[in-house]
Structures are given as C-alpha cells and as structure tokens.
Structure 1
Amino acid sequence: MAALRDEVVRRAALAGEPRPEGVKGPPLRHLVGELSALAGPFWRRQDVEAIPRAGRRRTVMLLPGFATHPIRMRHMAEQLEAAGHRVKRWGLGFNFGPTEENFARLNQRLLDLYRRHREPVVLVGWSLGGIFARELAKAHPDAVAKVVTMGSPFSGNRRANNAWRLYHLVTGHPVERPPITQDISAKPPVPTVALWSPRDGIVSPRSSCGRRGERDRAVALRCTHLGFAYSNEAIAAVLRELELD
C-alpha cells in the first residue's frame, strides 16, 4: 500500500508541474467545443453507400488517441472498408501511453500484417496514436507505405496542449521523455502527412501541423480534435490520402 501511495503522489506531482512560460494550449472556447463532439458518432454518420470505391486497395492500421479504445475509430474503419480497404486494429486495446512492452507488441503487430498481406501498411494515427505511427515507421520503414497523423502533437513544445497533465497522471512519465523515443519531431523515412485543425481544442494546431522537414505535407481540416476520429471531413481526407503515394 505504501508503494502505491508513493506512486500516486509522484504522478500527482508530475501532473501539477507548471506549464513552461510562453507555452499555451488551444483556447478555452475550442476546448469547450470538444464537448459537442463527444456525441458525434451517434448523431452525425455518413451513408456508407456514399463512399466511393477505392482506386487502389490498401492495408490500413488505425491507431487510437490517448485514453481511447479502437471502438472510437470504428466508424472510420467502416467507411474505409466500404471503400474497399483492409482495415486492422492496432491490437493493444486502450491507448494509455507508450511503454517499451506495448511498443514491442505494436512492432510485431505491424510486421505480422506486412508479412500476411505482402504489402506495406498505411498507418493512420489519431492524436497520440499518430506518435506511435511515426515511430513505427522509423523502426520499420520497409513495412510502412505511408503515415497519416490526425491532430498528433509531434512538433514544438510537448506541453502545448490541454492534455499533458492527464498524460503525466496516467503514464507516470513526463511528456517530454517518453520511453520509446527522444526525437518525436524527426520525420519518418516514408511519406508522412499531417492532418490538423485550427479548431482543435486539445492539441495546439502548430504542434499537429508541424514544420517543413518534420512531415511531407500538412492538410488543414475544420473539425474538432475528437472529430478527427469520425467526422465526414476527416474520413474523406484519409480516403484521399489512401489514393496517393
């Protein structure tokens, strides 16, 4: 019990650290706007029949955002499958942050898909899932055809968002020192596209857009951060990227 108490105290202290001077997350009005997105998958769905058939069939792995389960990306998976793509889950359940163990499991999951389908996999990562995707591509570039991040904080100060305190509390390590890498901003050696939104209420748009050299292209959307997982606009953007090299 004493060890558990000490760990809780340590994590609470991490979560209570001050934000660096001059570093800001998205404004409060955008954060409040995220609340309306929580019901999104239930009241705003796209007709499957409206999804055009893909010109080329891809194997796609979807990687969920921090503290979310793959079920939050089920609607996107259904739409990509309706277009003819093979869509796979990441196989780790809830995304509670990176550890050496779950990153090793994810590496094996990627290689298994690559060998089974005999083609490089397109990685589509939402928020923290996009960080995982970028690191997977760095580790196994031959197994990855492309990386598409959606609102992923890979650029700039790691605390330029409204979720870093929760991240500290849940993972137990500082957001600047994840156990899987120390250079999150470095671009993977495969085509890398960043989808970002000026309406993002969780991650700073500058962090998810990135700078030249940190990604190949950046595409601006108008959805919320939570909306990246289900909005018609985000799904259409991902479908377009699956048609491109």
Structure 2
Amino acid sequence: MESLELTPPPAILLALEPLRAIADYVAGLAPLSHPLPRGDGHPVIVFPGLGVSGYATEGLRGRLGELNYEVHDWEQGVNQWPDTDFDSFLDLLSEQLKQIYSQNGRSASLIGWSLGGVYAREIAKRHPKLVRQAITLATPFADQPNSTHAGWLCTLLNGGVSPMDEALLRRLSIDPVVPCTSVYSPSDGVVGWAGCAGTESEYHRNIEVDNVSHWGMVHNPEVLRVVAHLLAEHRHGTLRALLDTCVTRLL
C-alpha cells in the first residue's frame, strides 16, 4: 500500500459529528431494505470505543444477537486507555476469550470500534487459535497520535503523557495471522481514514463505507450489513475469497 499522509479530519467534519451520528442512529432504527444472512451461533465479542462503555454498542450487539450469534460485551465498563501495563490489560481481556472458548469450544469473532479495535487486533495476535476473525470499525491502528482528534483524550487519560510511543505504534500496525477487516469512512470526523487502512494481504482487507460518522459507526445500517456478511463467512476460507463474496453480495 502506498504511503498516505496521516492528518486529522477537517474541522468541519468534527463539528458535524454529533448531528451526523444522530442521523446514523436514526437510520439504524429503520427496517432494512434487504435481509441479512443469519449466523451459525458462534461467539462474538464487541469492544466499545474510547470514552464509552458497552451501553454504546448495545444496539449493534442486539442486532447481531437477532442474527443468531452468541454476542458478548467486553465487560470492562468505560473504555479508557489502560491505567496499567498495556500487556497486563490485554491479559485481562484475553481471560474472557479463553472462558468463552472453554464453554463451547468455538473460536470467537472480535469486533472493535475505534480504540476497541486496537484491543481486538492485539488479542487476535496473542490467541489466533481462539479467534475466528477481527473486524475493526474506524480504528486508526496505522495512525499517529497527532493525526486524530482523539489523541489528546488518550494523552489526558494517561496522565498528560501520550501512551503511543514509536515502538507501540509499530506494534499496532502489524496484522494478526487471522482474517482481519478494517471498516472505515472517509467522512469520519474524529480519526483520519488513512490511519485505518492497512496493507491488503491474505490476512487483511480494507472496506470503505461512505458518509458514516465516527460516533455513528456502530449504528449505521451499511456498516451492519458489512459486518453481518463478514461474520457469516466460513473461517477456513481465504480472506480474499471471504471479502470478495461479501462485497459482491452488497452490490
């Protein structure tokens, strides 16, 4: 993938985020124009974005539950940057994944919104045999802290020091060895879309959704449609075949 300039979204997009998020929320309440594929009942864990709890992803989890998935909140309350060692925090999050696997012997799909997507990818790196796929929604895993409008909040929550040093940024940009999909919007008002787009490979694919806000990403019906098709695919298919099928169905 060619090198892209990593800059924050225009100020006008940030200013319009609240109104656009409301529009995405309302759109998500409307009946879908086409039915979504039903799932096979495998477990799904949803990680919320920075500064919000599982309450913010309740609607998405409810819709996925209706599609026959065993859906779990991340169960850690409000998502702040960890106040402990990053790897220790990942150990804590991994315990939920291990427990779910021990209960039914099925690998889980991980869905992470914004900062939550960072956790989903890192957990997938640690436990690839327990993870079916990782789906990130507006997650700037290939970004720099000063090229988003959320970097200052991470710094504030980390005692005034940016937690994103160069070593961590390099680490976050490395893809897990499980199927990964980054769903992003060029009209995101909080994070720059370029920081959400990784290098396409056997394990990674980027999917662009138009006219979706950052805060409305978990409510928008087009995002739900993409996620539903990704979850419904067989885990042993190659990622390229998986996503080509998904995109074909959406056309």
| Contact in 1 for aligned 2:178/2:203 (Cα 8 Å) | no
CA distance in 1, matches of 2:20, 2:96: 30
Instruction: Provide the rounded CA distance (Å) in 1 between the counterparts of 2:115 and 2:106.
Output: 25
The one-character-per-residue Cα deviations of 1:205-232 (angstroms, maximum 9, x if unpaired) are 0111222359611100121111111111
With the length of structure 2 as denominator, give the TM-score of the two structures: 0.81
Per-residue deviation, residues 151-176 of structure 1 (Å, max 9, x unmatched): 00111423211110111001234142
> What is the 5 A alignment of 1:42-191?
43-44=26-27, 45-47=29-31, 51-98=35-82, 99-100=84-85, 101-172=88-159, 173-177=161-165, 183-191=171-179
For 1:150 and 1:193, locate their aligned partners in 2 and report how far apart those are by CA, in whole Å: 9
Relative to 1, partners in 2 of residues 1:46 and 1:226: Cα closer, same or farther, differing over 3 Å? same
Partner residue in 1 for 2:191: 203
- Highest Rg: 1 or 2? 1
RMSD: 2.5
Helix, strand or coil for the counterpart of 2:147?
A: coil
Q: Would you say the 8 A contact 2:198–2:205 is kept in 1?
A: no
Conserved? CA contact 1:185–1:214, under 8 Å: no
**Which blocks of at least 5 consecutive residues in structure 1 are unaligned?**
1-21
Matched residue count: 224
With over 3 angstroms needed to count, the CA separation of the structure-2 counterparts of 1:34 and 1:197, relative to structure 1, is: same
The code of the aligned residue for 1:219 comes to I
User: Displacement of 1:203 after TM fit?
Assistant: 0.8
Residue identity in the other structure for 1:176: M
What's the offset of the Cα at 1:89? 0.6
Q: Which moved more, 1:96-105 or 1:172-181?
A: 172-181
Does the 8 A contact of 1:48 with 1:79 survive in 2? no
Counterparts of 2:166 and 2:20, CA distance in 1: 28
In structure 1, distance between residues paired with 2:6 and 2:33? 44
**TM-score scaled to structure 1, two decimals?**
0.83
Q: What does residue 216 of structure 2 align with?
A: 227
**Identity across aligned pairs (percent)?**
25
Deviation at 1:33, TM superposition (A): 2.2
Q: State how far apart, in whole Å, the 2-side matches of 1:52 and 1:213 are.
A: 27
Question: Shift of residue 62 of structure 1?
Answer: 0.2
Q: Is the 8 A contact 1:41 1:75 kept in 2?
A: no
Unaligned runs of 5+ in 2: 236-251
Q: Deviations along 1:12-67, whole A, 9 cap, x unmatched?
A: xxxxxxxxxx8520111211221114435763314489753515232100000011
Q: After alignment, is 105-114 or 23-32 more displaced?
A: 23-32
**Shift in alpha-carbon separation, 1:243–1:152, aligned structure 2, 3 A:** same
